[in-house]
Structure 1
Amino acid sequence: MATSHNAFAADAPHSSEFETRRAALVNDIGESLEQVLTHINALNRSLEGIIEIGNEFASVEALWSQFETVMGREEEVAQNPSTQDDTEESRVEHDRASRG
């Protein structure tokens, strides 16, 4: 009986050391996860700010897109004068049809 008690007593310091190290590692992991969460939240706020800035430029982008479309049409008309006549004729026909 004394032999088994001595063996158990010898294992106790090892398990205590193991539990101490495990607790320290679990604590370190918990702190690291908290830091990761903090950094992810900061990243999320930064991305939201970037998206808001991008959304503010939507109206400017639409205006430039219209400008590009108009300039492209004028350039196309300058290259093909017959197209201009066709578009004017189709406008006149459309106006006549809409008037009745």
Structure 2
Amino acid sequence: MIRPDLRLPRSGSVRRVYVGLALLVLMTPAIAMQFTGEVAWDLRDFAGMAALLALLGIGLEIVLRLARTPSARLIGIGGAVAIAMLLWVELATGKVI
């Protein structure tokens, strides 16, 4: 049995927070492009990052729905974030880790 203080918030609120953070991540290079020439993203870059963030969101949703214990959730979330970061590095550099 899960202790009441370890329950997650309703999935709608978690989803809204994630979408807000994903939009913030996508807005960061768009804002940086207005002030410096060192950031030069095109439509493919934004689409790729949006797809990566969407896949991460789907992965997190699956983990939060299937994992029953807090430790399993933590491991699943860490794994999903680690996979997303590895994909991001691969896409950014083109080098296989």
Bigger radius of gyration? 1
TM-score (norm 1): 0.31
